[in-house]
Chains A and B, each alone.
Chain A
Amino acid sequence: MSASAVGVSFRPGELEVRPDGTGNQLGSRCRACGAHFFPVREACSGCLSGDLETVRFSTAGTLYTFSIVRQSTPAFEVPYALGYVDFPEGVRIMGQISGIELDEIKIGMPMVLSLEPWGEDDEGNPLTGYRFRPAEAN
């Protein structure tokens, strides 16, 4: 993705998109007990500390489970694959799956974050969202 073509994040509080097209999912880390949360929280559910920092999550994880969605809202063209990926920080994040045939997806696959075009905002500016791709495909 060239720098000029990089759209802004579709949800800036949850996905950081940098001008060079790289990015990370964002969440919270509790400075008191080390727990991580997605999305950003105001207090830790483990120890109730309010001392949280916003952190960038790793971009590689493991597919916990998935489904091929065949009926959805008008905002999403079906079919698409949806899955939960577990990341080393101890967070599980839902996302669509790309870069693989729908019938080849398997629980336990190594996955990586993939920043991808995500439609346009109300003014027609391109947006960047995320999907997860199998690690081998990159």
Chain B
Amino acid sequence: MTRFGKHPDSDAADLGAEALHGAVADAGIDPRLIEAAYVGHVFQGMVTGQRVLAQVGLAGIPLANVENACSSGATAIREASLAIRAGENDVVIAIGTEHLTSKFSGALTPDPSDPEAAVGATMPSVYAMRARRYMEEYGMTREQLALIPVKNKSNAARNPLAHFRKEITVQDVLDSRPIADPLRLHDCSPVTDGAAAVILMSDKAAKRHGNGRAVKLAASALRTGTVDVEPASMTFEPLTWATAHDAYERAGIGPEDVDFAEVHDCFSIAEVLRVEGLGLFKQGDYPAAVERGDANIEGRLPINPSGGLIGKGHPLGGTGVAQVVEIVRQLRGESGDRQIEGPRVGLAHCRGGKAVGIEGAACTVQILVR
């Protein structure tokens, strides 16, 4: 993957190409072995994936561009895995890329046609409303919530590819600019450029071409939100749970077997909702667990060791692929200063998109096993 941050001198195709080269070098394969590509991006326009492949001389193979809001990159990985499971391909690349600083600034909003966008909904405000409700129901304090960006930016400070490399304090969070009460700037993921790529192989191809460093993608699940027939709790995520359930079942494990996770912390409160929705922590328990240090890199169940979206950055299409890159490196023991001790099972969770009446647009859960 590329460094995440601001890349004023490159575009989504450059970043995607850099990520592709990195993945090919890591796998140690001839790039001509790649039979198909899935490329996730959100605001980069038509055929960005083809522009990536054209940069590196690989145009000509089957390619599909994938848009699923913040789950675009993760959906690209799932599509790649399905092509292999179907027996159609043996070596497939999944890329996620986004040059977000040139497309967008400020608060992300739902599509303007959406009835909620029409009355002023922004993504931060929707999560702010969920945070307020969670505080009311579970007694979480504003200071407890601030510990999540403090943790994630501390992890990011140990990640050379992260957007932010500076540790912050609870007071820094509370003093930062208000965005949508009770959320402040440090509660929000930044506008980031970046790309990541992973190469997936069938068992047969891994035996023949692999360099012995591959980890197993045990499950790659995708769901879309359902339309509620009555108002649902906004402090629990049935969509995250349903997607996780699919992944646990496929992988033959349960939440108790997960050693660490990269979850979609687009906002501080989102990390709370994700890990509880995934069944990794009991409903209402996560803020106290963070306070105890359970979710630290050295803790019982590290959450977002890469720095997460808040610390590492959130290039929409790149995010889901970068999560899997982190999990692969952690499982291989290649994560340097932020290495978790001896993990065997890592979980990546993305969800993104807002449309009126549905809980969330797209949700993915991927489980990787050493």
A residues apposed to B, CB below 8 Å: 10-11, 14, 35, 37-39, 41, 44-46, 64-73, 75-76, 80, 82-84, 86, 90-92, 94-96, 107, 129-130
Contacts and interface: CB of A to CB of B under 8 A. Distances in A.
Interface of B: 106-107, 109, 115-116, 118-122, 124-125, 128-130, 132-133, 136, 177-183, 226-231, 234, 356-357
Contacts of B107: 71-73
A45 to B, nearest CB: 4
B137 to A, nearest CB: 9
Contacts, number: 105
B178 to A, nearest CB: 5
A130 to B, nearest CB: 8
Contacts of B129: 65-67, 82-84
B231 to A, nearest CB: 4
Contacts of A71: 106-107, 122, 124, 177, 179-180
Given A66-B132, A67-B132, A91-B231, A73 B106 contact: yes
16 contacts: A35-B229, A35-B230, A38-B357, A64-B231, A64-B234, A67-B182, A68-B180, A69-B128, A71-B106, A73-B109, A75-B120, A82-B180, A91-B231, A92-B228, A94-B119, A94-B356
B121 A38 contact: no
Contact of A46 (B132, B179, B229): B229
A80 B125 CA distance: 11
B179 A45 contact: no
B188 to A, nearest CB: 9
Given A37-B357, A39-B356, A70 B227 contact: no
A82 to B, nearest CB: 5
A11 B106 CA distance: 26
B135 to A, nearest CB: 9
B201 to A, nearest CB: 39
A83 B153 CA distance: 30
Contacts of B121: 82, 94
Given A69-B180, A107-B136, A129-B119, A90 B226 contact: no
Indicate the member of A35, A70, A83, A84 with the most B CB atoms within 10 Å: A70
Contacts of A65: 129-130, 132-133, 136, 234
A94 B116 contact: yes
Contact of B227 (A11, A14, A37, A90): A37
Contacts of A35: 229-230
A11 B115 contact: yes
A38 B229 CA distance: 10
A79 to B, nearest CB: 9
Nearest to A130: B119
Please provide the 8 A-B residue pairs with the shortest distance between their CB atoms, ordered closest to farther: A67-B128, A45-B227, A92-B231, A65-B133, A46-B229, A68-B181, A35-B229, A90-B230
Interface centre among A44, A45, A71, A75 (most CB of B within 10 A): A71
Contacts of B116: 94
A67 B228 CA distance: 22
Contacts of B136: 65, 107
Given A65-B130, A67-B132, A72-B122, A14 B229 contact: no
A28 to B, nearest CB: 10
Contacts of B227: 37, 41, 45
Contacts of B128: 67, 69
Nearest to A75: B120
Given A65-B136, A67-B132, 20 more contacts: A37-B229, A46-B229, A64-B231, A65-B129, A65-B130, A65-B132, A67-B125, A67-B128, A67-B180, A68-B180, A69-B122, A70-B180, A72-B122, A80-B120, A82-B125, A84-B129, A90-B230, A107-B133, A107-B136, A130-B119
B229 A11 contact: no
Nearest to A108: B136
Nearest to A91: B231
A65 B136 CA distance: 9
Nearest to B133: A65
B120 A72 contact: yes
A64 B231 CA distance: 10
Contact of B357 (A39, A67, A76, A96): A39
Nearest to A13: B115
A14 to B, nearest CB: 5
Nearest to B122: A72
